[in-house]
Amino acid sequence: MFGLTVSFMKTSVYYQLGLTAVASMVLLGWNVRVMPFQSTFLNVVYIVNELFFFQLVYLSLLMTPFVPEVEDRYTFGYLYLGVVAFNIVMNFSALMWLLVKEIQKYMKKRKYEKAVVA
């Protein structure tokens, strides 16, 4: 989506980020309304990821000439990196949790099958 806004709105970074923010809000609203995944957990992860993206769009705006002080822009850049790192850790943790649940379910099924055969 961001690539489309960059290609069509070449004149101003403010328009690009604004359009991306609006698209993110629309996508977030659609996801909350429709809940496209069968698992509630995956829907929540998707909503949280979209909220992180929405936050990152606004942090991107704060790294433009909209903020006149260069030192403040650097601070927002480090904050941006921290938010991205936290989002990656959160998604990796969610993935590991799902993996452990699937392994537990497989082991329980295997134990049950062995008990039935014996």
Q: What are the pLDDT digits (tens) for 43-92?
A: 999 999 999 999 999 899 899 888 999 999 999 999 999 999 999 999 99
Dist CA 53 CA 51 (whole Å) = 5
Q: At what angle do helices 13-34 and 40-61 cross, to 10 degrees?
A: 170
How many folded domains does the chain comprise?
A: 1
- Which residue range is the domain that position 112 belongs to? 2-117
Positive or negative: CA dihedral 43, 21, 27, 8: negative
| pLDDT surpasses 90 at 29 | yes
Give the Cβ contact number of residue 60 at 10 Å: 18
